Each structure stands twice: as C-alpha cells, then as structure tokens.
Structure 1
Amino acid sequence: MPPTDPAAGDDFSIRIRTFGGVLLIQLDGPLSGTPVDIVRMYLMRTLVTQPLPALVVDLAGVTALEEAGREVLRSATGQAREAGGRLVVTGVPPLLGTAGEAGLDLLPTMGDGLTALGAPQER
C-alpha cells in the first residue's frame, strides 16, 4: 500500500523500508478495521520468512488504535521473540496507554528502535 498524506483524514498508509537487516514499518492513520488485518498479514508473513526477525513498527502517525491492533502488535512481538529476533514498537501514541503496554517492547522514537536493533546509522 503506497504512503498517503496523513492529513487526508481517515486514510491508512503503511511505509516499509529496510536499514541493513532491520525492517522499518511506519503506520499512519487509524489502526482499526481493515488496516488491522493488513498489518496482521504483513507482520505474520514477515515473521515466518525472516530467520532472525528484526522489526521496528513506528506508530507515530497512528490516529486511532483498536484493541485488535494492540493484540496484533503483542502477538507479533511474542512471535519475534520465539524466533530469536525482536520487534520494537516506537512512536507510541497516547492512544496506546498503559493498558496496551503489556507484552510490547516499547521505545520512544523510530531512531531509538533502529539503533537498538543495530541498524546502520545513516537514515
């Protein structure tokens, strides 16, 4: 799905980039309804195809977050750990709150997440 203007309202976009062996997934818009399914499918496919997954999921642009979206992030974090890798959630919006923090590996910024996973410094 190509990036869209986050100011365009309820549009959802996902931007995917790689930094060395680290995959960065930037989400913008509401993580509810169909976008939850899109993110779930992408994360699950990525986790089964990478031998040692190293992912950063940046939520800085997320405008709404359903419980289903939280569960997708928790599940993917657990699967990455089981595979010997790591999934870090960054840019956590106030929407996540303390209830959503259990089971997640949280860091404040996308840069913090990339650094923690050993991504090359050039971004």
Structure 2
Amino acid sequence: MSFFKSLILAIIATIFLTYVFGVGMLELMDLHVMMDGEAVEPLKAIGVSALVVVVLVVAALGIVLSVFGGMIFIGLVIFGSIAMVTVGIFWPILLMAVVIWLFTRNNSSRNKNTKQYA
C-alpha cells in the first residue's frame, strides 16, 4: 500500500469511528449540547466533544512528558555526577592506564607498512 492510500484510509476510518462512537455516546447518555439556548445538531456536538477530547489529550501528554522528562533529567544528573566524582577521584590511575596503553599497544599496522618497503 502506498503512503497516501494508507493515510486516506486512516483518515476515513478515524472519521467514521469518531462519528459512530460519538453518536453512540450521545444516544447512550442522552446528552444534548446546548449553545445559546439551542440544541446543537449531533454532528456539531461530536465535533465539539472531539475538540474537547483532543485538548484533554494534549494537556495529559504535556503533563506526562514533563513528569517523565523530569525523572529522566534527574536520573541523568545523578549518573553524570557519579561519573564525574569517579573520574575526579581516579584520574591519576586512568591517566597512567592510558599512557601505558599508548606505549604498549600493538603496532601491527606500522610493521606492515615498513615491511612492504623493505
């Protein structure tokens, strides 16, 4: 399926399901949306209720992301502080380990290049 065909089918399915569930909920709860003292027709009532639901979902998403984002930030700050303290305490040992590694690493790539010209 192409992207646009899938997109159109998803939009049609969403509109159909919103209408069916909206009318079903309006009939089940015997709900009448009133504006300026007049009852709003069902399609407009579904649109208004869908808009309210979208606003509530966006607000809930903002709250959830801020809470989890805050928890992730706090976790990263704690992990980073532990890592910095560890490096701060053991930096002489780490420096000596890097120096030893640099002097004793395998120089096979240098040996290959010099053997070719010899």
TM-score, normalised by the number of residues in structure 2: 0.23
Q: Which has the higher contact order (CA 8 A, sep 6+)?
A: 1
Structure of higher CA gyration radius: 2
Larger % of helix: which?
A: 2
Larger % of strand: which?
A: 1
